Amino acid sequence: MRLFSVRAVLTSSLLLAGVALAGWTKTGDGVASFKGVGPAGFKIEGKTRSVDVKDDGKTLTVVVGLKDLETGIDLRDKHMRDKYLEVEKFPEATLAIPHDEIKWPDEGKSGEGSGKGTFSVHGKSKEISFKYKITNSGGTFAIEGEAPVNFKEHDVNVPSYMGITVKPDITVFAKFNAKKG
Amino acid sequence: MRFHRAIFFAASLGAAAASATPTFTGVMQTELMMSGPPPGVCGVCHLNGVTTTGTVTTPFGRAVRMNGLMANNDASLRAALTALTMANTDSDGDGCSDIAELKGMPSPTNPNVATDCSAGGDGGTMVMDGGMGGGGAGGGGPTIGPIRYGCGANSVPELMALAAVVALALRARRS
Amino acid sequence: MRKLGWLLAVAVALGGSTAAAFPWMVKHDYQSCAVCHVDPSGAGQLTPYGRAQSDVLLRWRIKKPTADEAQEPSPTTRFLWFIDLPEVVNLSGNFRGGAMIPVGGAPRPLFMAADLYGTVKVDRFVFHASSGLGLRNVGPAAILPQCGGDKPCNAQWVAREFWAGATFADEAVMVRAGRMFVPFGLRNNEHFMWVRDTTNTDTNLDQQVGVSASYNGEKLRGEVMGLLGNYQLGPDAYRERGYSAFAEYTVLSKLYLGLSSLIAVSQADLLLQLPQVRHAHGVTMRWSPLEPLALLAEVDFLAWQQPTRLDRLGFAALVQADFEVMQGLHLIGSVEGQHTGSQERGPSVGGWVSAAWYVLPHVEVRLDAILRRTARPAPDPATVGFTLLGQLHFFL
Mean pLDDT of the C240-264 span: 96
Mutate to test the interface with C, among B33, B76, B99, B147 (most CBs of C within 10 A): B147
Looking up residue C294, the CATH number of its domain turns out to be 2.40.160.10
Q: Residue B79: which domain range?
A: 2-174
Coil vs helix vs strand at B113:
coil
CB contact under 8 A, C69 and A41: no
Q: Residue C143: which domain range?
A: 2-395
The percent of chain B in helix, strand and coil, each rounded to the nearest 5, is: 45, 5, 55
CB contact under 8 A, C218 and A41: yes
CA distance B23 to C383: 12
CA distance A9 to A153: 10
CA distance B162 to B164: 5
Please give the mean pLDDT across all residues of chain A: 86
Burial of B157 (0-12, 13-18, 19+ CB in 10 A): exposed
Please give the pLDDT value at position B165.
67
- Phi–psi pair at C287, nearest 5 degrees: -150, 135
Bond from prior residue into C23 cis (ω within 30 degrees of 0): no
Q: Where are the beta strands (DSSP E) in chain A?
A: 24-37, 43-48, 51-55, 59-65, 92-98, 110-121, 124-137, 140-150, 160-161, 164-165, 169-180
Mutate to test the interface with C, among A34, A42, A161 (most CBs of C within 10 A): A42
Residue A156 reports pLDDT greater than 90: yes
Coil vs helix vs strand at B172:
helix
C-alpha distances (whole Å) from A32 to each of A73, A80, C34, C276 are: 17, 16, 28, 56
User: Using CB atoms, which residue from A1, A41, A70 is nearest to C32?
Assistant: A41
Q: Is C170 on the interface with A (CB under 8 A)?
A: yes
Bond from prior residue into C235 cis (ω within 30 degrees of 0): yes
User: Using CB atoms, which residue from B9, B15, B159 is nearest to C137?
Assistant: B9
Q: Is C32 on the interface with A (CB under 8 A)?
A: yes
Contacts of C72 in chain A (CB under 8 A): 75
CB contact under 8 A, C270 and B85: yes
Contacts of B142 in chain C (CB under 8 A): none
Sheet holding A51-55, edge to edge: A43-48, A24-37, A169-180, A140-150, A124-137, A110-121, A92-98, A59-65, A51-55
Number of domains composing chain C: 1
Contacts of C234 in chain B (CB under 8 A): 130, 147-148, 153-156
CA distance B134 to C237: 11
Contacts of A77 in chain C (CB under 8 A): 67, 70
C-alpha distances (whole Å) from C329 to each of B93, B149, B171, C1, C366 are: 57, 39, 55, 31, 10
Task: Name residues whose C-beta falls within 8 Å of residue C184's C-beta, 6 or more positions apart in sequence.
Answer: C199, C201, C244, C245, C246, C260, C261, C262, C280, C282
Do B68 and B12 contact (CB within 8 A), yes or no? yes
Mean pLDDT of the B94-115 span: 77
Do A131 and A49 contact (CB within 8 A), yes or no? no
User: Using CB atoms, which residue from A42, A75, A164 is nearest to C56?
Assistant: A75
CB contact under 8 A, C148 and B149: yes
Q: Is A67 on the interface with C (CB under 8 A)?
A: no
User: Using CB atoms, which residue from B72, B137, B153 is nearest to C148?
Assistant: B153
Among C318, C395, C325, residue whose Cα is nearest residue C357: C325
Interface of C with A in 101-120 (CB under 8 A): none
Which residue would you say has higher pLDDT here, C366 or B166? Answer: C366
Phi-psi region of C204 (alpha: psi -120 to 50; beta: other; left: phi over 0): alpha
CA distance C194 to B76: 17
- The residues that bridge with A97 in the sheet, in sequence order, are A60
C-alpha distances (whole Å) from C347 to each of B90, C194, C314, C317 are: 35, 12, 9, 10
Q: Which of B68-77, C88-97, C287-296 has the lowest mean pLDDT?
A: B68-77
Which residue would you say has higher pLDDT here, B167 or C138? Answer: C138
Phi-psi region of B92 (alpha: psi -120 to 50; beta: other; left: phi over 0): alpha
Which residue would you say has higher pLDDT here, C48 or C396? Answer: C48
CA distance A79 to C233: 50
Residue of C nearest to A45 (CA): C29
Residue C225 reports pLDDT greater than 90: yes
How many CB atoms are closer than 10 A to CB A71? 25
Residue C80 reports pLDDT greater than 90: no
Q: What percent of chain B has pLDDT over 70?
A: 57
Among B31, B40, B90, B38, residue whose Cα is nearest residue B63: B90
CA distance C147 to C21: 29
> Which DSSP category does C20 fall into?
-
The CATH architecture one would assign to domain A2-180 is Beta Barrel (2.40)
Q: Is A81 on the interface with C (CB under 8 A)?
A: yes
CA distance C287 to C321: 10
Q: Where are the beta strands (DSSP E) in B18-151?
A: 127-128, 143-144, 148-149
Please give the pLDDT value at position C353.
97
C322-361 per-position pLDDT tens digit = 999 998 999 999 999 999 887 788 899 999 999 999 998 8
- Phi–psi pair at C141, nearest 5 degrees: -110, 5
A61-105 per-position pLDDT tens digit = 999 999 989 888 888 888 898 889 999 999 999 999 998 999 999
Do C377 and C342 contact (CB within 8 A), yes or no? yes
Number of domains composing chain B: 1
Residue B94 reports pLDDT greater than 70: yes
Q: Is A109 on the interface with C (CB under 8 A)?
A: no
Residue of C nearest to A3 (CA): C49
The full set of domain ranges for chain A reads 2-180
CB contact under 8 A, A37 and C218: yes
Distance of CA C133 to the CA centre of its chain: 18
With cut-offs at 50, 70 and 90, classify the pLDDT of residue A5: very low
Residue B105 reports pLDDT greater than 50: yes
Residue A154 reports pLDDT greater than 70: yes
Please give the pLDDT value at position B38.
81
- The residues that bridge with C242 in the sheet, in sequence order, are C227, C264
Please give the pLDDT value at position C179.
97
The subunits that touch chain B, with at least 3 C-beta pairs less than 8 Å apart, are C
CA distance C12 to C7: 8
Do C49 and C121 contact (CB within 8 A), yes or no? no
Q: Is A70 on the interface with C (CB under 8 A)?
A: yes
Please give the pLDDT value at position A61.
94
With cut-offs at 50, 70 and 90, classify the pLDDT of residue B163: low
Q: Is A57 on the interface with C (CB under 8 A)?
A: no
User: Using CB atoms, which residue from C48, C68, C172 is nearest to A78?
Assistant: C68
- DSSP states of C35-96 as a string? TTBSSTTS-SSBPHHHHHHIIIIIS--SS---TTT--PPPGGGBBTBTB---TTEEEEEEEE
CA distance A134 to A140: 10
Residue B83 reports pLDDT greater than 60: yes
CA distance B40 to B17: 18
Contacts of C383 in chain B (CB under 8 A): 72-74
Q: Is C36 on the interface with A (CB under 8 A)?
A: no
Residue B111 reports pLDDT greater than 50: yes
Q: Is A55 on the interface with C (CB under 8 A)?
A: no
- The residues that bridge with C147 in the sheet, in sequence order, are B149
Q: Is A42 on the interface with C (CB under 8 A)?
A: yes
Shortest distance between the Cα of C327 and any Cα of chain B, in A, equals 35
The percent of chain C in helix, strand and coil, each rounded to the nearest 5, is: 10, 50, 35
User: Using CB atoms, which residue from B4, B27, B132 is nearest to C237?
Assistant: B132
CA distance B45 to B88: 18
Q: Where are the beta strands (DSSP E) in C102-172?
A: 108-122, 125-134, 142-144, 156-158, 162-168
* Contact between chain B and chain A (3 or more Cβ pairs less than 8 Å apart): no
Residue of C nearest to A70 (CA): C67
Q: What percent of chain C has pLDDT over 70?
A: 92
